[in-house]
Amino acid sequence: MITIIDYEAGNIGSILNMIKRIGGKACISGNADEIRIAEKLILPGVGHFDYGMLQLRKSGLSEALQEAVIRDKKPVLGICLGMQLMTQRSEEGVQPGLGWFNATVKKFQFSDNEVKLKVPHMGWNHVSLVNKNSRLFKDMPEDPRFYFVHSFYASASDPAEVLTTTQHGLEFASSLEKGNIYGVQFHPEKSHKYGIRLLQNFLDI
């Protein structure tokens, strides 16, 4: 059973539907006690970094997540803003993140000397697999592409935590992995066969 965390900052319905579509069991919860005892967790997210962190702390979910993920080593998948909240901090706000990844979140900014691309980075884009032993990308269809919608990206300080990279004017970490903690900047629930494979792999972990 996967518990999808409801902290009023995520598009949780489409994630729930996709997991059910591939035969997985999932529920939605914003209850800290239920988060503590969950088997696996998905931290979704759409919106502002500070709002997301304040919602997690106000509801007691931040503490519950630290216990479940760091103490009890429950597998967790962060999606879009959910992954960004797993980093140290973001240029989008002043709140500290959960601190699980040694990374900071930066805004796409292109100088006059660079090719200026649209922000937000929106639509399909390729990912390059860095950690070829990752269970999250096991048996992934060839030439994986995922659907992105974001104006901020993760800049990883530890190359060992980078799972995939993507190009959008610059190379950024489009997914991160550290032990039982996984984060993806893209939306697997909107990424057809590639997203289905990734979510199936998370179910199998």
49 neighbors 93 (Cβ within 8 angstroms): yes
Give the active site residue among 8, 27, 80, 126.
Answer: 80
Contacts of residue 22, defined as CB under 8 A and 6 or more positions apart, other chains included, come to: 196, 199, 200, 203
Give the burial class of 155: count Cβ atoms within 10 A of its Cβ; 0-12 exposed, 13-18 middle, 19 or more buried: middle
DSSP state of 141: P
Residue 168, token pair as written in the block: 């959008």
Give the active site residue among 92, 168, 187, 192.
Answer: 187
Give the active site residue among 92, 161, 177, 189.
Answer: 189
Strand partners for 5? 29
Taking the CA atoms of the chain, what radius of gyration do you get in angstroms?
16
34 is catalytic: no
150 is catalytic: no
Sign of the four-CA dihedral 81, 85, 87, 91: positive
80 is catalytic: yes
24 neighbors 3 (Cβ within 8 angstroms): no
Strand partners for 43? 78
102 neighbors 158 (Cβ within 8 angstroms): yes
- Report the catalytic residues: 80, 187, 189
